[in-house]
């Protein structure tokens, strides 16, 4: 991993003056670990038709495996392992009918709050890989219990994957906070769209800084709708392709 990171930084310093392959896509990543494709259970796909369009987009972009991650957020999306597995079954059946051949399973994107703290005590969490769990928090305000939740997860044998850390505005004034999260046991997952400036310049700047420091472990689409899909597809034809192609993301280990 360190040698690949060195090569990525070397190419970054050279300005990535490399040709972009014809029909470039994201196939080298292999797997995506963050999306909202199950219809009607969160702010992602609304209908099964929406879901199938997004799955087709993932196939077109070269992905081999999808781990879709509905929100578990008690005040807005009170999903459970049962609602998620039931929704996944509906999607898998529709994919089979449409001959969409891509491996897909479901985990969850857990919102870190008191409900999640209680969930840790009462039932197994849905995992991305082995005991790794995708988590998120408010974009604007640091949860007062963030350190406690991370400690509790690690103590229970889980490894937190913090979704889109570059988008948490309260971290932006102190980049060293990200290293503290890593030291506490967190893995970090980049939202690919952040690199394009989709979420704004400040978020792109932080994403670029974390990439340069080698802080990310995974990258994910965080796919919700067709606009996300179109932007991600277009990114593969820009210099952003080389940003991802040379970086030692761990996505490929998720393929099944």
Looking up residue 162, the CATH number of its domain turns out to be 3.20.20.140
Alpha helix (H) residue ranges in 17-122: 48-60, 81-97, 114-122
Which residue reads 């409900």 in tokens?
115
| Residue 195 lies in domain | 2-17+27-248
Residue 155 in tokens: 């103590």
Residue 3's pLDDT is what? 52
* 200 conformational bin, left if phi > 0, alpha if psi -120 to 50, beta if neither: left
The answer as to whether 229 is a domain residue is yes
Task: Compute mean pLDDT per 10 residues along the chain, 256 residues long, and list them.
Answer: 54 66 95 98 98 98 98 97 98 98 98 96 97 96 92 97 97 93 97 98 98 97 98 96 96 96
The answer as to whether 254 is a domain residue is no
Residue 161's nearest CA partner among 251, 244, 74, 56 is 251
Residue 44's pLDDT is what? 98
Residue 17's pLDDT is what? 73
Burial 82-107, CB ≥16 within 10 A → b, else e: ebbeebbeebeebbeeeebeeebebb
**What's the whole-model pTM score?**
0.94
The answer as to whether 253 is a domain residue is no
The answer as to whether 80 is a domain residue is yes
Decide: 30 and 252 in contact? Cβ < 8 Å: yes
The answer as to whether 109 is a domain residue is yes
Residue 170 burial (10 A CB sphere; 0-12, 13-18, 19+): middle
The answer as to whether 145 is a domain residue is yes
Decide: 144 and 112 in contact? Cβ < 8 Å: no
The answer as to whether 158 is a domain residue is yes
Residue 8's pLDDT is what? 54
The answer as to whether 195 is a domain residue is yes
Domains: count for the chain = 1
């Amino acid at each position: 991993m360190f040698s690949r990171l060195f090569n990525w930084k070397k190419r970054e310093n050279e300005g990535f003056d490399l040709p972009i392959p014809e029909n470039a896509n994201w196939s080298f990543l292999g797997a995506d670990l963050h999306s909202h494709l199950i219809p009607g259970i969160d702010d992602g796909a609304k209908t099964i038709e929406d879901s199938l369009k997004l799955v087709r987009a993932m196939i077109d972009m070269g992905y081999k495996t999808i781990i879709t991650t509905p929100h578990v957020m008690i005040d807005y999306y009170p999903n459970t392992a049962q609602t998620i597995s039931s929704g996944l079954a509906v999607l898998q059946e529709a994919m089979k009918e449409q001959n969409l051949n891509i491996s897909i399973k479901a985990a969850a994107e857990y919102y870190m709050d008191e409900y999640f703290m209680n969930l840790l005590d009462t039932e197994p969490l849905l995992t991305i890989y082995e005991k790794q769990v995708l988590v998120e928090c408010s974009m604007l305000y640091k949860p007062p219990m963030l350190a406690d939740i991370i400690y509790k997860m690690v103590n229970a044998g889980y490894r937190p994957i913090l979704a889109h850390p570059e988008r948490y505005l309260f971290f932006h004034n102190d980049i060293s906070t990200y290293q503290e999260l890593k030291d506490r046991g967190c893995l970090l997952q980049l939202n690919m769209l952040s690199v394009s400036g989709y979420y704004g310049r400040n978020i792109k700047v932080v994403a670029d800084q974390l990439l340069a420091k080698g802080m990310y472990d995974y990258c994910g689409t965080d796919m919700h709708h067709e606009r996300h899909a179109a932007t991600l597809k277009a990114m593969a034809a820009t210099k952003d392709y080389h940003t991802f192609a040379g970086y030692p993301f761990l996505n490929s280990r998720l393929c099944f």
